[in-house]
Structure 1
Amino acid sequence: MTLLAHDRYCDEIAHQVGQLRAVVTSGADLSATVPTCPDWTLEQLVRHVGGALRWVELTVRTRAQEEIPEEKVPGHDGPDAEGDPASLDAWLAETGDMIGGTLREAGPDAAVWAWAGVLNAGFWARRMAHEITVHRADATLAAGLPYEVAADVAADAIDEWLGIIEFVQRTVPERVADDLRGPGGRSIHLHATDTAPELNAEWLVELTEEGVAWRRGHEKATVALRGPLTEVLLAFYRRLPLDSPGLEVLGERELLEFWLERSSFG
């Protein structure tokens, strides 16, 4: 697996912040419930994303060697005014400038605390690029707006998600992801149908007794999920139903549903 360049992640964070700001200022109802994150309103989702970016910015800027409590992050919760898109937009703009500058200044190899065993700023650039990419999908879907994402970012987001599931299984076996262990011979194939061959936007995910194993490539599997890369990404992150237009499930659908129910951070 080859990561994207550090600057590419930084560029994508800036782009995604701009896109999220466009949702905030689009006239969308900030009090509306987000269907894919039903515990949050649209405004709460935006504040969550901005707060996470500020938390990471402080973590990287101070080269923290342990987790920083959220309450120690200046501006973490966002503007005092609620329901005010202008204040929320200004806070997001400042947040984007802060984290972009900090990550670029640090470079990918700066030593810093992280939770997945990769103890450098590069981990956080990648993690935040995909955090905001997927949560922007939540926001745009809630606002009824179109959603697009660059193919290299979407493919890397799938790589990262699979890596996270591997990490959770190795380190926290009592979590729900551990249910994915089991007899060999069960596998999932993801196949993006609209990308250039050199991107190799296909994956084989194997569920074994030792844990999840995965690799890029075209191989037969117990079940396959096919469709445009953006739709495959969103379905694999449980943001789109499997029956969404453009998606096709071939083989044992129950296995894919089993995966989607159990693949999570916790």
Structure 2
Amino acid sequence: MRTIDSIAHLQREGELLADAAAEAGEHAPVPTCPGWSTGDLVRHTGTFHRWAARIVAERLPGPVPEDPMPEGPTGAALLPWFRDGHGGLVRTLRAAGHETDCWTFLPAPSPLAFWARRQAHETAVHRVDAESARGGKLTSLDPAFAADGIDELLTGFHARSGSRVRAEQPRALRVRPTDADAAWTVRLSAGAAPRTERSTDGPADCELTGPAQDLYLVLWNRLPLDAATLTGDAALAALWRETSAIS
């Protein structure tokens, strides 16, 4: 996905998040983030927006510790604070050149491409959280954007040694969206991080299929497994569910 498109998705998703949070109210519980209120969610996302904008704007080398989540703002100041930070991040990314050099923590064509992609998906997942607090139908995700988010999760986050997804015996989990030109085979073992191939070569022990949006949210544990069509070993999908949380 082009960087300019990632930034456009970031802008859209942040605006939708703020709108959903306004409808839900600051103290509404967030079903997809047990123990959090909508206010907690907004402060968390707004803090990460400011953190990312600072890294890009100041071209910081890394690693850069995450900014602490603020105790405030609350009440009437909360959403203006969020919108200000979100807008600042969008403006920072649009102003940054592709030669911008700063810290990243996943492979990417450039630091700018990384931060635009990462913050677009960070915001999209938390927009879904805000809409779950509000109730009602979730706003649809573009299939190509959702597929890009699946790719980031599988080939980025779960390629790191910190991924907790392990299998005692070698296993293969396939993910195949029905509305995007993409597919992944995730190979699990006991002693190493998952290894993801952007292909459907070879057999798979379990396959998840469905619209890219549903697979994206299933893999991020925002929808239940039965939101996808599962064939093969359901225990392997359950293993993913139990061990794949990103912290």
In the alignment, what sits opposite 1:211?
A: 193
Specify the SS of the correspondent of 1:112: coil
In the alignment, what sits opposite 2:174?
A: 189
Alignment partners' CA distance in 1, 2:98 and 2:218: 30
Match of 2:225 among 219, 242, 247: 242
In the alignment, what sits opposite 1:5?
A: 2
In the alignment, what sits opposite 1:144?
A: 135
In the alignment, what sits opposite 1:156?
A: 148
Unaligned runs of 5+ in 2: none
Contact 2:10–2:119 (Cα < 8 Å) also in 1: yes
For each residue in 1:74-105, what CA deviation from the matched residue of structure 2 results, as whole angstroms up to 9, or x when unmatched? xx73863x233xx3332222222211111121
Alignment partners' CA distance in 1, 2:184 and 2:66: 36
Cα RMSD between the aligned structures?
Answer: 2.3
Q: How is 1:1-266 mapped onto 2 (pairs within 5 angstroms)?
A: 4-26=1-23, 28-66=24-62, 67-68=64-65, 70=67, 77=70, 80=73, 82-84=74-76, 87-116=77-106, 120-147=111-138, 148-169=140-161, 172=162, 177-180=163-166, 182-184=168-170, 186-193=171-178, 195=179, 199-208=180-189, 209-218=191-200, 220-244=203-227, 247-266=228-247
Specify the SS of the correspondent of 1:155: helix
Alignment partners' CA distance in 2, 1:129 and 1:45: 16
Whichever residue aligns with residue 104 of structure 1, its letter is: R
Alignment partners' CA distance in 1, 2:9 and 2:81: 18
Equivalences, count: 242
For each residue in 1:22-56, what CA deviation from the matched residue of structure 2 results, as whole angstroms up to 9, or x when unmatched? 11232x13212211111310111011111100111
Alignment partners' CA distance in 2, 1:133 and 1:69: 19
Contact 2:160–2:193 (Cα < 8 Å) also in 1: no
Specify the SS of the correspondent of 1:146: coil
Alignment partners' CA distance in 2, 1:78 and 1:105: 30
With normalisation by structure 1, the TM-score equals: 0.82
Whichever residue aligns with residue 114 of structure 1, its letter is: T
- CA displacement at 1:182 relative to structure 2: 4.4
Contact 2:106–2:157 (Cα < 8 Å) also in 1: no
Whichever residue aligns with residue 259 of structure 1, its letter is: W
Contact 1:50–1:78 (Cα < 8 Å) also in 2: no
Alignment partners' CA distance in 1, 2:71 and 2:95: 24
Whichever residue aligns with residue 198 of structure 2, its letter is: R
With normalisation by structure 2, the TM-score equals: 0.88
Whichever residue aligns with residue 234 of structure 1, its letter is: L
Identity fraction in percent: 29
4+ runs of 1 displaced by more than 6 Å? none
Whichever residue aligns with residue 3 of structure 2, its letter is: H
